[in-house]
Amino acid sequence: MNDHSELLVVGGGIGGLTTALAALHAGRSVRVLEQAASYGEIGAGIQLAPNATRILDRLGLLPAMEAVGVLPRRLVLGDALTATELTHLPLGDFRERYGAPYVVLHRRDLLDLLLEACRAAGGALETGARVVDVEDDGRRVAATAADGRRWSGGVLVAADGLHSTLRSRFSDDEPIASGFVAYRGTVPTAHIERRADLGDVVAWIGPGLHLVQYPLRAGELYNQVAVFRSPAFAAGSAEWGTPEELDSAFSPVHGHLREATQLLGRELRWPMHDRLPIGRFAEGRFALLGDAAHPMLQYLAQGACQAIEDAACLVGALGRHDGPAAALAAYEAERAPRTARVQRNARAWGEFWHVGGADKTARDALLRARDPADHSRVSWLYGS
């Protein structure tokens, strides 16, 4: 058993480590409990908008992020069937407009920066710690791992992801399958004969599918994510989202986009899930954070960004309020409405991307008529 004032963080992903680092910066003792044998991220690229990079800047990470990442010039929406641009959002003025840049980088690079910073600040980082039980007696909270290890602290934050086992304290819901599946991967940029501008983050959207492309590591790597609606899922098959379905789904797209999907690894796929907002994810000395609290579909590129916002809010509340229960109640009151809005908008944005027929024609006309300088749809998200 350890110090009852220690902050316990269950889950060593981006949300959990950002929480730990923010707490360490605030002078708190922190212990991170990661169930895997080592810290690591599965996946490839990650997009961090100013609502997240402002916070990471305050934690001292932004210069290193810029060194290993890319600051794109534009966010672009394009037609996957014709490979033509529909609209874009310039990013060059984001520091002045929103107080921080838009950065894309490899997930592993971001996790390594967070790990290094937490270690340097004196955080305790456990591995192989699969938490199976949490007890809150009002004076302290305790976590018990499957191997019998036990830790006690003042507050416990569950950042254990979409399939959180600790979320059951607040809801008996299950992840909701969207019927869409993603294939992700990176490839050396030099190996791609035809690609989008390396200054752009591009989402090529089409009926029931999209392909996201952007550079990583100073343009040396090219990140690609292909997403499509699975007919096998709609038919009720247990085997859905297969590589064969990937090839079939992208057969109508423009040639160079179809070529791009052939460069994706086929051994791993990511079925896309979210959950409905639950509104309540804190009680006593215990709180959920990130995907454990509000898992969302990826269409706004805000999953990690919202977890980073959670971290700053939660640690800030602990510093402002007298007692953990009051602090975590304030955290929930601030974060639940915002994250629910992002969850709902992510679903709606995905529907907007994937329409076909007459709806696609109307959507494309709307996007082409949009003023690129119009921030009315994003200022609520990226602003402070």
Q: What is the pLDDT of residues 251-288, one digit of tens each?
A: 999 999 999 999 998 888 999 999 999 999 999 999 99
- The residues with which 160 forms a beta bridge, in sequence order, are none
In a domain, 253, yes or no: yes
> Does 64 fall in a domain?
no
- What confidence score (pLDDT) does residue 2 get? 42
> Is the same domain home to 259 and 366?
yes
3-state secondary structure 285-304: CEEECHHHCCCCCHHHCCHH
Determine, yes or no, domain membership for 321.
yes
Q: Work out the mean pLDDT of the chain and round it to a whole number.
A: 95
Shared domain for 300 and 315, answered yes or no, is yes
Q: Which of 39, 102, 183, 214 is catalytic?
A: 214
Rounded to whole angstroms, the Cα distance separating 327 from 321 reads 5
Instruction: State the residue range of the domain holding 282.
Output: 7-39+127-173+276-351
Are 53 and 309 a contacting pair, CB within 8 Å?
no
Q: Which residues of the chain have pLDDT under 50?
A: 1-2
Assigned domain for 45 exists: no
Residue whose token pair is 């086929």: 266
Contact 326, 314 (CB under 8 A): no
Answer yes or no: are the C-beta atoms of 221 and 215 closer than 8 Å. Answer: yes
Residue of 306, 262, 269 whose CA lies nearest to 288? 306
The answer to whether residues 369 and 233 belong to one domain is yes
Q: What is the CATH number of the domain that holds 313?
A: 3.50.50.60
Same domain flag for 13 and 150: yes
Q: What is residue 1's predicted lDDT score, i.e. its pLDDT?
A: 35
In a domain, 181, yes or no: yes
Asked if the structure places residue 185 within a domain, the reply is yes
Number of structural domains the chain divides into: 2
Tell me: do 202 and 243 sit in the same domain: yes
Per-residue pLDDT at 4: 57
Q: Decide if 201 contacts 45 (C-beta within 8 A).
A: no
Two structure tokens written together for 263: 């460069």
- Does 316 lie in the same domain as 215? no
Q: Token pair of 142, please? A: 């305790």
Domain with residue 221: its CATH number is 3.30.9.30
What was the pLDDT predicted at 195? Answer: 78
8 Å CB contact between 258 and 247? no
DSSP character string of 180-232: EEEEEEEEEGGG-SS---TTEEEEEEETTEEEEEEEEGGGTEEEEEEEEE-HH
- 265 found inside a domain: yes
Please check whether residues 16 and 134 belong to one and the same domain: yes
What percent of the chain is predicted at pLDDT more than 70? 99
Q: Residue 334 and residue 331: Cα distance in Å, rounded?
A: 5
Same domain assignment for residues 142 and 264: no
Q: What does the angle CA 18 – CA 21 – CA 27 come to, to the nearest 5 degrees? A: 145
Instruction: Kindly state whether residue 113 falls inside one of the protein's structural domains.
Output: no
Q: What is the largest CA-CA distance in the chain?
A: 63
Q: Same domain, yes or no, for 206 and 269? A: yes
Same domain, 260 and 371: yes
Question: Is 111 in contact with 14 (CB distance < 8 Å)?
Answer: yes
Same domain assignment for residues 327 and 236 = no
Same domain for 267 and 188: yes
Q: Give catalytic status of residue 214 as yes or no.
A: yes
Q: Report pLDDT digits (tens) over 154-182.
A: 999 999 999 999 999 999 999 999 999 99
